[in-house]
Structure 1
Amino acid sequence: MRLVLFTGKGGVGKTTLAAATGATLATQGKRTLVVSTDPAHSLADAYGMRLGPEPTEVDRRLDAVQIDSRSLADSAWQRLRGQLGHALSGIGVDALDAAELTVLPGVDDLLALGEVRRLTATKHWHAVVVDCGPTAETLRLFALPEAVAGYLRRVYGWQPVSSRARALSGAAASVMELGNHLESLRAMLTDREVTTVRLVLTPERMVVAETRRTLTALALRGIRVDGIVANRLMPAAGLWRGGAASWLRERRAQQEAVLAEAGAAGLSGVRLVEHRAAEPVGLDALAEIAKELYGGGDPLAGEADDVAPMLRITESDEGYRLRISLPLAPDADVDLARIDDDLAITIDGFRRLVALPRLLRPCEVIGAETDADGLVVLLTDPGGQA
């Protein structure tokens, strides 16, 4: 089973490409579900039919669904919140304080991601293609499982336990249920054999810059990106003449220059899709886009990427060098902090705690440097032995 998530800056056409990918997978014989977690819900417009919160048949072997996260919050979350509030009140926490403690930020987004996992776990489909929201919302969505799990650790003292742990009840059971659910979401997103992200951009410098930051943010989360698509490339004017043809040539040249700059900066293997005069609605129009995007190949193949481990340790004269493989822009704003046995890495405003390997936990951070392959942290052994 494969899970492919499409995201990009608002208005770049990610919904169309996700819909086209799903339709092509179905025609190639794979049972496919296309899911929209984007609050705008334009997936129904792409297929030219009504969609709801339950999978609807679009074509043979092709289903689609638009997740209503607000409705999920009004049902599933209220049950768990009620359990937590009741349990906390039962152990002496004031009722108002208990209600405050059970309000978690981003619950709607978490439930939408949980619904994706539920649909994926049915194993009814060979592939699940997700039309995510715009980049900022998607990055928040991907960060939530780890962030809320940290909240549970601080407020409730939750820790992951195996399924063989002793039976729990009351607040402990409710917290354990939510914590384990969050852990399963994180595991789903970081399973590189199952889950991949496709980034969609238009050939504009601001959009490309956001895409590069998104690549770094996803790498920080351990989430694999297996493709980048440049959408709405102006068609070549060919031998056309006149003012319109001149405008097309100039605009295409500008777009190609942006893509060349992006390639030189590390955004390689970008697939191109040309702009169309008519809005691509319906399976026939989507098939034409998929043909241009995949050339008749397998949409699940993606692009080859570096699957080297994120963390690598080598010895140095001072002690150790810890390489953290990340796609970094030359002007990236990088900040490091040591928090107990973790490194707090912040890059262009995106932050993640990275657990230090056991070998390096007694060491002190004495410096850091960046290069084309990522970040190198310099550590010294306080005992003087490397």
Structure 2
Amino acid sequence: MRILFYTGKGGVGKTTISAVTGNFLASNGQKVLVMSTDQAHSLEDCFAKKLSSEPKEIYKNLYAMEIDPVEEGAKVWTNMQQYIREIIYKKANYGIEADEALMFPGFDEIFALLYILKVYEEKKYDVLIVDCAPTGQSLSMLTYAEKIQMIADAVIPMVKNINSIFGSFISKKTSVPKPKDIVFDEFSALVERLTKLYKILKNQEETSIRIVTTPEHIVIEEAKRNYTWLKLYGFNVDAIYLNKLYPAEMLTGYFSDWEKYQQESIEIVQESFHKQKIFMLELQNNEILGKEKLDDIGEIFYTTCNPLSIFTKTEDFFIEDKNGTRTLCIELPFVKDRDEISVFKDGNDIVISWLNETRRFHLPEKLRKREISDYIYEDGYLKIKMDY
């Protein structure tokens, strides 16, 4: 099964392009599910069909749904919810709505991820298209699995041991109920499934991430940052969609200066993403709503190519070996200054921070006994030199 993610800044047209791609593939014989993970769902507007939190066939071979995180949460962490609900009731005297309090920031991304794994394992569809929330939320969703694995490995065994030895005593002194083993088991099962999905999402043969942008320079800059974040975590971005271009006939008279500005934007995108397939779409006379309009845009995009193609594959990392020094090279394009990056070694991991994002990179066997001697940023790559 192919999984296609569409991500980008809010308002660039991710939902429209997800719908266009799903409609095109379904019209050409693929069984497709288009899934929205954005809380501000607009997928049903594109299809002009009523949708729900369960897959619904809207056209032949084409299914669509809009994730409900509260509903999905009830399916996957019932015991954890019940335990936290007990604490809330004991401490807040039923003064707040527990179900609302239990929807912690970020958990909706986890539930969306788990539904992706469910779809993958059921094997009912040939293609899953994920219409992501705006950039920050989609990045959180894609990286949650790795981050929660760190918590599970480092924290949960310790907490479980403390609970086993001192749980009853703490409960008596604080009136906080002791968690049952099933709570930890449920969390461990959650981590196991997220880890399984993380491997699928990083498999370049199965999963492609595609960034949608518009010709405004500020939006292109966010697309570039988005790409750097995704490369930091080793995801494969194989296509860029440059949406909402002004047609030439509009760029005359009062708007003539926009022609030069827009051409500069196109050149920036072409130079920045020269490895990726670039799709371009002009502003349309009418909104792209309903099957007929989706068909029209699909023909514009995909007459000469198949959206299921893997347009490019990029390396997660590579190792250079020279004069006894091994250098771990990780592609991080668009970093403006080496000082934006910090790197240190922690056990068998390299911890890399860029701006407000941190990744713990598990070292290959041949580098684990070495220490960092230096790191540089050069030609779009972070190069970490490692010696004994």
What residue number does 1:162 align with? Answer: none
Structure with the higher fraction of residues in helix conformation: 2
What residue number does 1:312 align with? Answer: 318
Conserved? CA contact 1:84–1:175, under 8 Å: no
Deviation at 1:70, TM superposition (A): 2.3
CA separation of 1:366 and 1:232: change in aligned 2, threshold 3 A: same
What residue number does 2:29 align with? Answer: 29
Conserved? CA contact 1:7–1:14, under 8 Å: yes
Q: In the aligned structure 2, how far is the partner of 1:47 from the partner of 1:199?
A: 21
TM-score normalised per structure 2 = 0.83
What residue number does 1:361 align with? Answer: 368
What residue number does 2:241 align with? Answer: 229
Q: In the aligned structure 2, how far is the partner of 1:342 from the partner of 1:275?
A: 47
Residue range with higher mean Cα deviation, 275-284 or 372-381: 372-381
- The one of 178, 185, 208 equivalent to 2:220 is 208
What residue number does 2:163 align with? Answer: none
CA separation of 1:103 and 1:275: change in aligned 2, threshold 3 A: closer
1:269-308 superposed Cα distances (whole Å, 9 cap, x missing partner): 32111111211100111111122222253111142233x3
TM-score normalised per structure 1 = 0.84
What residue number does 1:178 align with? Answer: 190
What residue number does 2:168 align with? Answer: none
Q: In the aligned structure 2, how far is the partner of 1:202 from the partner of 1:33?
A: 26
Q: In the aligned structure 1, how far is the partner of 2:183 from the partner of 2:291?
A: 49
CA separation of 1:292 and 1:103: change in aligned 2, threshold 3 A: closer
Q: In the aligned structure 2, how far is the partner of 1:282 from the partner of 1:61?
A: 16
1:70-105 superposed Cα distances (whole Å, 9 cap, x missing partner): 2222x224513157779xx9xxxxx97xx9xx9975
Show structure 1 runs of 5+ residues with no match. Answer: 90-94, 159-168, 382-386
1:358-381 superposed Cα distances (whole Å, 9 cap, x missing partner): 222222212111222411111222
What residue number does 1:166 align with? Answer: none
Q: In the aligned structure 2, how far is the partner of 1:256 from the partner of 1:181?
A: 45
How many equivalent pairs are there? 354
| DSSP 3-state at the match of 2:155 | helix
- The one of 311, 330, 345 equivalent to 1:338 is 345
| DSSP 3-state at the match of 1:273 | strand
| DSSP 3-state at the match of 2:132 | strand
Deviation at 1:143, TM superposition (A): 1.5
Residue range with higher mean Cα deviation, 146-155 or 325-334: 325-334
Deviation at 1:50, TM superposition (A): 0.6
- The one of 322, 338, 345 equivalent to 2:328 is 322
Show structure 2 runs of 5+ residues with no match. Answer: 92-97, 159-180
Conserved? CA contact 1:328–1:372, under 8 Å: no
Deviation at 1:263, TM superposition (A): 2.8
Does structure 1 residue 156 correspond to structure 2 residue 156? Answer: yes
Conserved? CA contact 1:83–1:174, under 8 Å: no
- The runs of at least 4 consecutive aligned structure 1 residues that moved more than 6 Å come to 83-86
Deviation at 1:213, TM superposition (A): 1.1
Q: In the aligned structure 2, how far is the partner of 1:232 from the partner of 1:103?
A: 35
CA RMSD between the two structures: 2.7
What residue number does 1:115 align with? Answer: 115
Deviation at 1:65, TM superposition (A): 0.7
Deviation at 1:67, TM superposition (A): 0.9
Q: In the aligned structure 2, how far is the partner of 1:84 from the partner of 1:182?
A: 22
Q: In the aligned structure 2, how far is the partner of 1:228 from the partner of 1:245?
A: 27
Q: In the aligned structure 1, how far is the partner of 2:358 from the partner of 2:198?
A: 16
Q: In the aligned structure 2, how far is the partner of 1:252 from the partner of 1:18?
A: 28
Does structure 1 residue 264 correspond to structure 2 residue 271? Answer: yes
| DSSP 3-state at the match of 1:344 | strand
What residue number does 2:165 align with? Answer: none
Residue 225 of structure 1 aligns to which amino acid in structure 2? V
Q: 1:79-158 maps to which residues of 2 (within 5 A)?
A: 79-82=78-81, 106-157=106-157
Q: In the aligned structure 2, how far is the partner of 1:207 from the partner of 1:33?
A: 28
Residue 204 of structure 1 aligns to which amino acid in structure 2? E
What residue number does 1:14 align with? Answer: 14
Deviation at 1:179, TM superposition (A): 1.9
Deviation at 1:188, TM superposition (A): 2.4
Q: In the aligned structure 2, how far is the partner of 1:247 from the partner of 1:64?
A: 42
Residue 108 of structure 1 aligns to which amino acid in structure 2? D
Identity of aligned residues (%): 29
Conserved? CA contact 1:235–1:252, under 8 Å: no
Deviation at 1:172, TM superposition (A): 5.0
Residue range with higher mean Cα deviation, 329-338 or 227-236: 329-338
Residue 282 of structure 2 aligns to which amino acid in structure 1? E
Conserved? CA contact 1:318–1:380, under 8 Å: yes
